[in-house]
Amino acid sequence: MSEPVGGWRRQRALLDYALGSLRRRGRRNGAMVVALMVVVGVYASVLFLSESLRHEWEQTLEATPDLVVQRMVAGRPTTIEAGALEAVVPTDAPGVRRAWARTWGYLFVEAIGANLTVIGAGPGERAFARSLVGEPLPAEEGEVPFCLVGDALAERLAVRPGDRLAIPDARQETRVLEVAGVFDAASALHVADVMVVREATARELLALPAGQATDLAVELARPEEAPVVAAGIRERMPDARVIDRRALVRTYELTFDGRSGLLGALLVPCLAALFLLAWDRLTGLGDAERREIGVLKAIGWETRDVIAARLWESALVAIAGAWLGVLLAYGYVFGLGAPGLAGALFGWSALHPELALTPVIDATQAWTLVGLVVLPFVGVAVVPAWRAATLDPDEAMR
Amino acid sequence: MSEAADEAAGAEEAAAGEMAAEEPVVVAEEVVKRYFDGGRRVLAIDGVSLEVAAGELVVLMGPSGSGKTTLLGLLGGLITPTKGDVKVAGRSVVHMRDHHRTAWRRRHVGVVFQELMLVPGMSLLENVLLPLAPLGGAGKDEVARAEALLARFGLGDERDARVRRLSGGERQRGALARALVLEPNVLLLDEPTAHVDAENAEAMLELIAEETARGRAVIASTHDPRLAEDARVSRVVRVEAGKLA
Ligand SMILES: Nc1ncnc2c1ncn2[C@@H]1O[C@H](COP(=O)(O)OP(=O)(O)OP(=O)(O)O)[C@@H](O)[C@H]1O
Ligand SMILES: [Mg+2]
């Protein structure tokens, strides 16, 4: 028999023992796993939800121009003369890289009970169309107009590329469109219900009179100059409302960081309670456990073997509990759309009742989260494990 | 701890194995053990010297509280003496680093405790294989050897039984199997016949005698005079108030 055994084979044997020990103390360890699962599940749900919403927002903001100019009538945005573009945002205005009139709007489709966002891919929107679809709309118009739809919408409408789609326009007249492509709606919140069509088609669907645009979009050479450019626009067009993208970013940061920060703070006592529980469980060595450790020491287990076995045991509990919690949260947030939590915390689920959030968590991040739970948990277990392991072997003899 | 240190211990051990042929396997020299039990001082062992050779069956006889368990613990390196020295297989187990002593014990000493100390929630076979974990666990050969041991001890059918289900005699023999699974040179038995009837005591004694005949140094404590009078016993040593009488 070869005495010098270190490394993996020894650890495997100790892991085997730890597994057996978990089984023998099943109820107690099970309770611990469940407690961990619940706390990690709640924490991960909030984290996943806010991360996912942050992602949605970032996607939206990416597609948002630096400045958007709306014409206000009676305090509400209304259509704007497309021809006014040059007068309002002269192409040679300092700081302006590019400006264009946008044709887009909402179209309520009763059959699916949803508000479609119809976007006219005009000359200025081609980049946007490409960013959504990867490619612009087909150049040649067939006998019926083309449209591109997001995958979620395609599923709801039950259409695939090549299919024809009949939808009522704003005047309730049926229009037939051919689905030229389905794009991956990376951002569920803002483009899931998007339909991209040629500008002329958008006008027809939305009943937007010729020469009218929804708003004006401005791309700046340097985003810091937004206030100066906006002031110039307001001077040239007194009834304009100019929306600064950076203001949206700030709002979003306040909303999300503020809310998830608050939640994080609320979870601290929960976690503290859990670790106290863990501490109590791991420190309070039962009589039977004490005896068992005495036996192990007496029959030739070294201190490090006992410590390793106990650490394996708590690591297994922590890994099981944390993974279950993460999986639970994943299913709850990305599978079910975080019912309850989303509405309560962020107030938008009422607007998007069937919203399916895009998972923004990958395996590495999930493991990181699990690691963040497992490491302190095992860390907490080190001291009692060491205390137990240094019991004198002759204690087993009493 | 490094594997190199383990290996060094292994090499020394091989050297000691050769020595063991000439020297007694267990040597105690002027051993004293004093306990401090909350303000109370107990002189449990008071200057004991003893040598036991391979193939010898030595019985420690003495009344309750005389120090038999303590002496066995000292002889097996489980208890550190207050004074004196204990050599097992040619090496002092008193002046060894803790983990080396444990490795040494694992290799050379098998113990059947007074309270047996089987893990009740485990099966008998799992209990017998428990000493193998620090060596990397039981492979096929080790499992086969443990099973053979259980079969020889009349426990072949009980190998998967939970210990808490077994009878006193079965547990006693199971504990003996665990003590023997690593083929120790020294076998220590604390009251091996205390919890069993005459028939089981005789079976136990027969197994102990067999192991002695295989060349192990066997030391058993008892306060049962029948054991002391048995012909298979090589030597009876009387323990009284921590001294050899
Ligand atoms: N860990 C300890 N702390 C304090 N006192 C102890 C300890 N272990 C043993 N003793 C004392 O040492 C003395 C010898 O005890 P030991 O258990 O060796 O006797 P024994 O001969 O095995 O007795 P028994 O036949 O009852 O098993 C007793 O007085 C006992 O109370
Ligand atoms: Mg005793």
pLDDT in tens, A263-281: 665 566 566 666 666 666 6
Distance B43 CA to ligand 1 centre (A): 9
- CA pair distance A335, A106, nearest whole angstrom: 27
The ligand with the least distance to the CA atom of B44 is: 1
- CA pair distance B31, B73, nearest whole angstrom: 12
Average pLDDT, chain A: 79
Average of pLDDT values for A231-259? 80
Q: Is the pLDDT of residue A91 over 60?
A: yes
Average of pLDDT values for A56-81? 84
Q: Are A301 and B7 within 8 A, CB to CB?
A: no
- CA pair distance A23, B72, nearest whole angstrom: 34
Q: What confidence category does residue A141 fall into, taking pLDDT thresholds of 50, 70 and 90? A: low
User: Is the CB of residue B65 below 6 angstroms from any atom belonging to ligand 1?
Assistant: yes
**DSSP string computed for chain B:** --HHHHHHHHHHHHHHHHHTTTS-SEEEEEEEEEEEETTEEEEEEEEEEEEE-TT-EEEEE--TTSSHHHHHHHHTTSS--SEEEEEETTEESTTS-HHHHHHHHHHHEEEEBTTB---TTSBHHHHHHGGGGGGT---HHHHHHHHHHHHHTT-GGGTTSBGGGS-HHHHHHHHHHHHHTT--SEEEEESTTTTS-HHHHHHHHHHHHHHHHTT-EEEEEES-HHHHH-TT-SEEEEEETTEE-
From the list A1, A309, A392, the residue facing B135 with the nearest CB is A1
User: Is the CB of residue B70 below 6 angstroms from any atom belonging to ligand 1?
Assistant: yes
Which pLDDT belongs to residue A348? Answer: 46
Q: Which of A153, A175, A196 is nearest to A63 (CA)?
A: A196
> For tokens 């608050």, what's the residue?
A262
Whether ipTM exceeds 0.90: no
B109-112 and B186-190 strand pairing: parallel
Helix (H) or strand (E) holding A268: helix A245-283
Which pLDDT belongs to residue A190? Answer: 52
Q: Are A397 and B9 within 8 A, CB to CB?
A: no
Q: List CB contacts (< 8 A) between A297 and chain B.
A: 102
For A24, nearest residue in chain B (alpha carbons) = B121
Average of pLDDT values for A282-308? 83
Which pLDDT belongs to residue A270? Answer: 61
Average of pLDDT values for A228-246? 90
Provide the chain B residues 173-232 that lie in CB contact (below 8 A) with chain A: 178, 182-183, 190
pLDDT less than 50: residues of chain B:
1-20
Q: What confidence category does residue A247 fall into, taking pLDDT thresholds of 50, 70 and 90? A: confident
- Contacts (Cβ under 8 Å, ≥6 apart) of A192: A150, A152, A153, A185, A355, A356
Q: What confidence category does residue A343 fall into, taking pLDDT thresholds of 50, 70 and 90? A: low
Distance B193 CA to ligand 2 centre (A): 12
Q: Tens digits of per-residue pLDDT, A362-388? A: 777 777 777 777 887 787 777 777 877
Task: For residue B63, report the phi and psi dihedrals to the nearest 5 degrees.
Answer: -70, 170
Provide the chain B residues 54-93 that lie in CB contact (below 8 A) with chain A: 69, 73, 78-79
> Checking phi first, is residue A55 left (phi over 0); if not, alpha (psi -120 to 50) or beta?
alpha
> What is the pTM assigned to this prediction?
0.71
